[in-house]
Amino acid sequence: MAKISATPRTARRRRRANAVWLLPNRPHCFLRLLATIPQISRYRRGLVAVPPSFRPTLPTSEERKSAIQPQTPSPIRDNEVETTSRQEAEEPQDPDAEGEAVAGKYWAHRHSLFSLYDRGVRMDAEGWYSATPEAIAAAQAARAAPAGLVVDAFAGVGGNSIQFAARGCYVVAVEIDPHKVELARHNARIYGVEDMIEFVVGDFFRLAPYLKADLVFLSPPWGGPSYNQTPMYTLDMLMPKDGYTTFQAAQKIAPNVIMFLPWNVDRSQVEELCWLSSPPLDFESEENYIQNRFKGITACFGNLAR
Ligand code: ADP
């Protein structure tokens, strides 16, 4: 009898021993990420496991400085990033010329959106006006605890996800547009943080009930550049759902929420969001400027409030 029960115990131990090496330094984060995968996998393509000992290669200050100087395209840059999709393979030979044509007046700001733009960062037309400027994204990411799990709910072309990953967080980047996910993945590779980010093609509101994390970052669509014309931007102008609904979806995922909102948003409405919880969440907001231009407000809820 003893022998019969010994066999399954040994097999169980072996299975456990095999599983242990999968766990990274922060097993709680990894396990929560794993818990989301069965639902996520229905929406995403090509699951990439987070390697346990990954350390992101952050651009050095030298690299950032040199990226700010406009550079002529070099053969190295074109070969640097492996082309992985048909879409990318069909890109024109000169991505700078294409970028300039699509970007129009936003072209001048390319290095403030992505300091490594000249390494081959790619954006679609929407990305040019909607990507969070890198300095702002870095300041927002600095609020997160390194090695925490972050859900970037409206990831776009990846600017915020990249900065959270560069901070050392594991990121689930949710984006409804598959082409943007391709661009975001490509951009994350340029920044050396692709393996820290789990890209998910899907509707944040449908995925939200299946996600758990330490922090949710919300930069929902502001409704295009026309938000600038409104004297007072209200939370019901956010897309695809109003700010209250979006915030509540995020709250079910994590105790901490960061929202990036237009400069002209009604701040009393934003502050009221903390009363959607009982007891009310701590709240702090920060004004974000780019080259002396008031760009937006970062609202922090929960333990992130300083
Ligand atoms: P705006 O320029 O108006 O601020 P954005 O381009 O910043 O809009 O929108 C952010 C991103 O959110 C876009 O890339 C868009 O595809 C994405 N998005 C919109 N709705 C959803 C959704 N339900 N789930 C996930 N991503 C979404």
More confident residue, 131 or 33: 131
Cα 266 off chain centre by: 25
The pLDDT-based confidence of 94 (bands split at 50, 70, 90) is: low
CATH 3.30.565.10 corresponds to the domain 97-304: no
Please name the residue ranges forming H helices in the chain: 2-20, 27-40, 61-68, 75-80, 86-89, 95-103, 110-113, 125-130, 134-141, 159-166, 178-190, 204-207, 243-251, 267-272
Ligand 1 atom closest to Cα of residue 240: 20
Ligand 1 atom with the smallest distance to the CA of 227 is 3
pLDDT in tens, 177-224: 999 999 999 999 999 999 999 999 999 999 999 999 999 999 999 988
Instruction: Specify whether the CB–CB gap between 181 and 199 falls below 8 A.
Output: yes
Asked if pLDDT for residue 164 goes beyond 90, the answer is yes
152 lines ligand 1 (CB under 6 A): no
How do the domains of the chain map onto residue ranges? 9-90, 97-304
User: Per mean pLDDT, which of 86-95, 96-105, 212-221, 276-285 is the most reliable?
Assistant: 212-221
| Model pTM score | 0.73
Nearest Cα residue to atom 12 of ligand 1: 154
| Residue owning the nearest CA to atom 23 of ligand 1 | 203
pLDDT digit string (tens) for 235-290? 999 999 999 999 999 999 999 999 999 999 999 999 999 998 888 999 999 999 99
Non-local (6+) Cβ contacts of 158 within 8 A are: 173, 183, 184, 185, 187, 188, 197
